[in-house]
A and B are shown apart, each in its own frame.
Chain A
Amino acid sequence: AQSVAQPEDQVNVAEGNPLTVKCTYSVSGNPYLFWYVQYPNRGLQFLLKYITGDNLVKGSYGFEAEFNKSQTSFHLKKPSALVSDSALYFCAVRDEAAGNKLTFGGGTRVLVKP
């Protein structure tokens, strides 16, 4: 079985400050990890993924994430948040043996204040 936890329902940050959205996962095999963002009344937009290789992954819109195998974490980061980053963020995982079935975390709402 595979699962994802996003421990924070909401993260508040001032514009220009660093943004971190936390994610931990559980899989039985090697994890494939993804971050998505959802703006109001829109579908999910792909931000970045970790499959293998370098633990620091860079993605769209200045976001990056660090894979930490020992802590089973895949936290999303942005060095300097923008008001336009305010949205709902989902972490997702696939076990390599699970076919193409994604399991999503519960989501974290990010509010960036001017």
Chain B
Amino acid sequence: DTEVTQTPKHLVMGMTNKKSLKCEQHMGHRAMYWYKQKAKKPPELMFVYSYEKLSINESVPSRFSPECPNSSLLNLHLHALQPEDSALYLCASSQEGTSGRDTYEQYFGPGTRLTVT
């Protein structure tokens, strides 16, 4: 099973709302990722969690707050977003090698289409 699930599929929120995106995988992967993708553009890395600890934050604004409650779950909490934050938000996961230099591919979820009004 190479499935990464994401909920919700679509989300419309106002600039004053607080919402959360959820991601789940049951492949035993210990690295999980959040990406932002604009239409017809490549995914842009936002955050990386390795063994449930935040290892990479690509200078993402604080209105995006990631959380990794356990090795299978990854959340992205959203607050006071701007219209330009409207995008497809992708979650991914991958195995981790014991040396940290894993060579494993990332598996992506279907994404959450976010619209900020």
Contacts of B90 in A (CB 8 A): 43-44
Q: How far is the CA of A22 from the CA of B94 in the complex (A)?
A: 25
In the assembled complex, the CB of A57 is this many whole angstroms from the nearest CB of chain B, namely 12
A96 at the interface (CB under 8 A from B): yes
Binds A, one of B13-21, B41-49, B79-87: B41-49
Q: Which of A36, A44, A106 has the most CB of B within 10 A?
A: A44
Contacts of B40 in A (CB 8 A): 88, 107, 109
Contacts of B34 in A (CB 8 A): none
Supposing A107-B40, A107-B41 touch, asked if A101 and B56 sit within 8 A by C-beta, the answer is yes
Q: How far is the CA of A101 from the CA of B6 in the complex (A)?
A: 21
B66 at the interface (CB under 8 A from A): no
Contacts of A106 in B (CB 8 A): 41-42
Give the nearest-CB partner of A94 in chain B.
B103
A25 at the interface (CB under 8 A from B): no
Residues of B within 8 A of A (CB): 4, 6, 31, 33, 40-43, 45, 48, 50, 55-56, 90, 92, 94, 96, 100-103, 105-111, 113
Q: Which 7 A-B pairs have the closest CB atoms?
A: A104-B42, A43-B108, A44-B108, A51-B103, A46-B105, A43-B110, A43-B111
26 sampled A-B residue pairs with Cβ under 8 A: A34-B105, A41-B113, A42-B111, A43-B90, A43-B92, A43-B111, A44-B43, A44-B90, A45-B108, A46-B105, A46-B108, A49-B103, A49-B105, A88-B40, A99-B48, A99-B101, A100-B48, A100-B55, A100-B94, A100-B96, A100-B102, A101-B48, A105-B42, A106-B41, A106-B42, A107-B40
Residues of A within 8 A of B (CB): 32, 34, 36, 41-46, 49, 51, 88, 90, 96, 99-102, 104-107, 109
